Amino acid sequence: MKVGVLIGIKSSESEIAQRTAKNVISALEYKGYNVVPIPIDENLVENLKREKINVAFISAHGIFGEDGTVQGLLELLGIPYIGSGVLASALAMNKIMSKKIFTYENIPTPKWLYLHKRDLEEKDLESIKYLVRELKFPLAIKPASQGSTIGFTKLEREEELKSALEYAFQYDNEVVIEEFIYGKEITASIFDTKKTICFPLIEIIPKSQTGLYDYTAKYTPGMSAHIIPARLENDIYLKAQDLGIKAHKALGCRHFSRVDMIVEHETNNIYVLEVNTIPGMTSTSLYPEAAKAYGIEFPDLLSMLIDHVLGRE
């Protein structure tokens, strides 16, 4: 059995993709698979044809890997792969499209709006501020198609709007502006093979200087605490698990995903923030931790996904 681990090297999250790949390769080799690392670059098609892999695991976060592009190529070449298909990957990657679907499906998400880069050129700043005043401060401003809080700003004052937008537009032509919810950050790890289940919810307590679950808190050991199961009242806990599965299905995801949510302090209302179709699989990542809490070790998790994709369950 030959498994190709496709490694994203061109996005702003390439460092995390390489760390995920290292962890995945180690786990697969432990299970006895013949593993070949394949970079996602201009030689990808040639390398895939030469290696003749049986199944692909995509270790790529952000554009050129998590956005449906590589998935489409694998479909074209007839190579089975683990993870969501072209459409679900593209929808989840674009926060604007995923939020539109959440709204249609009555999945609660923070009140939001979006801007295109040309809006900064075609509209004066006062017009943009007028639009933003529909939302309640503080605000979260982020690129529509980036992860790991890259390009993110927590906006406390309207006066800082222009610089926050300019920062986000460095990473994307579209930007999402949403109300910042003060609450308990939780994540639902969805496992979708013969049936769709939600692993135990994880509560995240950032320890970074910003107090946010930012890039540093996510990927630096010791910079965040993970509590499993999340400390929620039972009815809230079960509702959050159900919402995680609902968001996963609403976007058409398959195999696995991680749904990030927040439980508002004052109301206990649950808001879905985003769905990650290729959750990180590094040594500090949430998804493997949730699987372990459910009773599935990481190498076994990968084997189960491979068996499902190849119809060997």
Range of lowest pLDDT (127-141, 187-201, 297-311): 127-141
Q: How does the average pLDDT of the chain come out, rounded?
A: 92
At residue 276 the predicted structure's pLDDT band, cuts being 50, 70 and 90, is very high
Residue 51, number of CB atoms within 10 A of its CB: 16
Query: Is residue 212 within 8 Å of 220, Cβ to Cβ?
Result: no
Peptide bond before residue 221 is cis, with ω within 30 degrees of 0:
no
CATH of the domain at 249: 3.30.470.20
Q: What CATH number is associated with residue 149?
A: 3.30.1490.20
What is the predicted pLDDT for the residue at 12? 63
**Is the same domain home to 122 and 147?**
yes
Higher-pLDDT residue of 26, 206: 26
User: Contact at 8 Å (CB) between 186 and 233?
Assistant: no
Among 41-50, 105-114, 125-134, 147-156, the minimum mean pLDDT is found in 147-156
Domain end marker among 83, 100, 134? 83
- The percentage of the chain sitting over the pLDDT mark of 70, rounded to a whole number, equals 93
Instruction: Specify the higher pLDDT residue, 16 or 306.
Output: 306
pLDDT at residue 267 greater than cutoff 60: yes
pLDDT score at 210: 64
Residues 121 and 138 in one domain: yes
- In this structure, the answer to whether residues 32 and 157 fall within a common structural domain is no
pLDDT for 313: 56
Whether residue 64 is found in the same domain as residue 100: no
Q: Are residues 237 and 99 in the same domain?
A: yes
Please say if the pLDDT value at position 270 is more than 80.
yes
pLDDT bin (cut points 50, 70, 90) of residue 90 is very high
Q: What secondary structure does DSSP assign to 217-282, as a single string?
A: HHHSTTSEEEESS----HHHHHHHHHHHHHHHHHTT--EEEEEEEEEETTT--EEEEEEESS---S
Could you tell me if 53 and 96 lie in one domain? no
Give the percent of the chain with pLDDT over 90: 75
Number of domains the chain is built from: 3
Question: pLDDT tier at 207 (50, 70, 90 boundaries)?
Answer: confident
Q: Does 101 share its domain with 221?
A: yes
Q: Does residue 138 have a cis peptide bond before it, meaning omega lies within 30 degrees of 0?
A: yes
Q: How confident is the model at residue 206 (pLDDT cuts 50, 70, 90)?
A: confident
The answer on pLDDT for 118 being more than 80 is yes
pLDDT at position 11, please?
65
Q: Tell whether 218 and 285 lie within a shared domain.
A: yes
Query: Same domain, yes or no, for 77 and 130?
Result: no
CA distances from 209 to 16, 97, 182, 217 (A): 21, 32, 17, 9
Chain-centroid distance of CA 66 in Å reads 9
Do both 142 and 220 map to the same domain? no
Segments forming the whole domain that contains residue 44? 2-83
Last residue within a domain, chosen from 156, 179, 202: 179
Structure tokens at 268: 């206990």
Active site residues: 13, 148, 219, 258, 260, 274, 276, 280
Span 26-30, average pLDDT: 96
Look at residues 179, 198, 226 and tell me which one is the last residue of a structural domain: 179
Q: Are residues 194 and 263 in the same domain?
A: yes
Confidence of residue 224 (pLDDT cuts 50, 70, 90): confident
The model's pLDDT over 230-253, given as tens digits with 9 standing for 90+, comes to: 999 999 999 999 999 999 999 999
Over residues 59-77, mean pLDDT: 91
Structure tokens at 266: 């004052």
Q: Which residue has the tokens 């995680």?
A: 244
* pLDDT of 62: 77
Q: How far apart are CA 97 and CA 84, in angstroms?
A: 16
Residue 215 — very low, low, confident or very high, per pLDDT cuts 50/70/90?
Answer: low
pLDDT over 70 (residue 208): no
Does 150 share its domain with 226? Answer: no
- Mean pLDDT across 140-147: 88
User: Which of the 8 DSSP states describes residue 194?
Assistant: S
Query: Residue 8 belongs to a domain with what CATH number?
Result: 3.40.50.20
